[in-house]
Structure 1
Amino acid sequence: MTYAQAKGHLVDEFGAVETGGRSIVVGCDGSSASDAAARWAAGTAQLLGCGIRMVHVMPWPILRSTGGTAVLVGRDVLWGAAERLLDKSCRDVRAEYPGVAIEAEVSVGDPVPILLREAAAGSLLVLGSRGLGEVRELAEGSVAAHLATHASCPVVAVPAGWSPRSGEVVVGVDGSEQSRKAIDFAFQFAEQTGASVRAVLAWHDPASVGPGDMQFPVYDIDALEEDSAAVLGEAVAGRRVDHPDVQTTEKLVHGSASKVLLDESRDAGLLVVGSRGRGRIRSLLLGSVSRAVLHDAACPVAVVR
């Protein structure tokens, strides 16, 4: 049963109509990060000319006592609370973005398969970087890894302190296939929203990345920097031709990927990374770099697979 079906008058009030394109799906849980995610999604939808679909996933109404016994909680009570939470979220978004079409739905069950199903029909899946309750881990740990790895659309994590601001689309570059997809997304998003692109490659000295790896005893650091600059230039060159109206800058930085990307996020409007990279950032989603970016970036982070 959808929220719109349960609260039919909201369909007209919030303008939940066909927009001619896929909606942006928002995972809502009532947290400050979730509220920020809804505002970011609505602002983006306004620029892209599409609607948003706000989804609240209610866990199965079972609580466990300290003695380990399961207690079935009244579903109607929880359903009513979920409807009120989503109702407030919709009204808050509507007040700030009155022209954006909004659909809303309350679902019961595990948030991962439900949100993956919703993402299959969406253009983006947007979550708060930190949330509450059953949705608390949506943008961290194994749940986020599962969503960003398997969602059929890019996943965007929005920090709780986010507020609307202009800024460049910063994209992490490493020469991998996933990085190329992230660059494509960054340029397309920038073109549609009127933003500029800053392509960033963090390069570093050779290092062992696993058991059995051999580290070069002697290497030319200037050659490493030149090779990294070539990778960055090649990655951006074709996109500049395809998107001539997008202002683009390239930035080569010596340092760890996590620190470089976090520093770059401070004045960015959106940070875009691939779900997997190579070298020391070969696992932007599943490794320490992705966790640092998703948890601590000062701007929304889009993970593209």
Structure 2
Amino acid sequence: MSRSPLTAAGRAAAPSVVAEREGGTMRVMEGASVPGSQAEDRADAGAENRAADRVVPEGLRDWRIVVAVRDYPHDAATIEWALAHTVRGVDTVHLVHAYSPLRLDGCHWQPVARARGARAMAGRRVVAIALQRIAAAYPALGQDGSAVAGTPEDVLEQMSEVADLVVVGDDSLEPATPRPITWRVQDAASCPVVCVPAGYRTEAGSPVTVVVDEQGWDPVLEFGVQVAMRSGAGLQVSRSWSALHEMLPETDEWLADQQRAFDTQLTEWQDRYPAVPISARIELDDAWPGRLRRSSSLLVATSYAAARVRSLPSDPVQQACPIAIVPDGG
């Protein structure tokens, strides 16, 4: 592995999470853990909704964020991740619960009507409970939700056409899942999709890692920068050696030249977003996907590279970080 930082140590990173507008100036609020989540016991209760006098970095884009909810206990980490990367006054959040409809369209028999209504009511209840929990921790953060009839992959694929980001719990880590819903959503979505493992908790200081190939960097780098600005993390840009050459480098000097060329390619991004520390890595072995999932707060890749980054860390003690898949071409 070769690594090169593009910014000086100690450079101010972007402030995190929730912001509010005060007299035309955007200020940051440090969000609290969502009540009832697995991270709640570790949360500092005194930090809830505590104002921090820091300005949100210039260049932050507004996002329409869709959060998929199966039920609150199961998706507490997913909801918490989404809200921790939501900027109040800039982003909007919409919770979505997909429920299986009663496939008897056109039937007006009363028992069928009652069953159809019961399914819709159960879906709305799931959304209402999640919204109540969110409102308790983020009282000034506006959000709403919908219960939509349909399969989760169909509902989320269509929601991705109007959203800037879809956040969903990662069911690929669950046993006996032949083709995870999250993979199907990642492959078909029109916007980036973040899949959050159940119970995941971001470790402070972990970077957002973007995996790049020979071309098509802009969509994944732009998304990675936007996440890094919201979380206060640094951005780490990783390139696997196999994407460059089939054989290992012959000399350290030649590899150093490649690293310098890589740094040069990223200079424009560092100049464009000076508040985000950016570093570059060249991965020299085939174990890089698992290594990056252990050491990152988020692993970002294009649809083309999705199969590679879905690999799990070999060490079962180490939790896998969330994965974001950005559609090819943005």
Matched, 1:255 2:277: no
SS of alignment partner, residue 157 of structure 1: strand
* Number of the residue aligned with 1:270: 298
* Number of the residue aligned with 1:302: 324
Separation of aligned partners in 2, 1:56 and 1:275: 25
Separation of aligned partners in 2, 1:132 and 1:299: 11
- Candidates 209, 218, 228, aligned match of 1:190: 228
Number of equivalent positions: 253
Equivalent residues in 2 for 1:2-13 (5 A)? Answer: none
Separation of aligned partners in 2, 1:227 and 1:145: 37
* Number of the residue aligned with 1:7: none
* Number of the residue aligned with 1:240: 270
Matched, 1:168 2:198: no
Separation of aligned partners in 1, 2:173 and 2:249: 48
Equivalent residues in 2 for 1:109-258 (5 A)? Answer: 109-130=150-171, 141=179, 143-166=181-204, 167-177=206-216, 179-204=217-242, 220=250, 225=255, 229=259, 232-256=262-286
Work out whether residues 171 and 180 of structure 2, in 8 Å CA contact, stay in contact via their aligned partners in 1: no
Work out whether residues 98 and 151 of structure 2, in 8 Å CA contact, stay in contact via their aligned partners in 1: yes
* Pairwise CA distance, 1:117: 2.1
- Structure 1's consecutive aligned runs of 4 or more residues displaced over 4 angstroms after TM superposition are 204-207, 221-224
The one-letter amino acid of 1:272's match is V
Structure 1 residues without counterparts, runs of 5 or longer: 1-19, 63-70, 208-215, 277-283
- Cα gap change, 1:96 to 1:224, in 2 (>3 Å): farther
* Pairwise CA distance, 1:150: 3.5
Separation of aligned partners in 2, 1:30 and 1:243: 37
Matched, 1:85 2:129: no
Q: Given the two structures, how large is their TM-score scaled by the length of structure 1? A: 0.69
- Cα gap change, 1:48 to 1:188, in 2 (>3 Å): farther
* Pairwise CA distance, 1:21: 4.8
Separation of aligned partners in 2, 1:40 and 1:26: 10
Separation of aligned partners in 2, 1:39 and 1:234: 36
Overall identity of the aligned pairs, in %:
22
* Pairwise CA distance, 1:183: 1.7
Deviation string 1:19-70 (CA, Å, 9 cap, x unpaired) is x9542101111275522111111121136832210000101236xxxxxxxx
SS of alignment partner, residue 107 of structure 1: strand
- Candidates 142, 145, 150, aligned match of 1:104: 145
- Cα gap change, 1:219 to 1:25, in 2 (>3 Å): closer
Structure 2 residues without counterparts, runs of 5 or longer: 1-60, 104-110
* Pairwise CA distance, 1:188: 3.1
- Cα gap change, 1:198 to 1:44, in 2 (>3 Å): same
The one-letter amino acid of 2:219's match is K
Deviation string 1:130-166 (CA, Å, 9 cap, x unpaired) is 1899xx97xx837544432442221101111212543
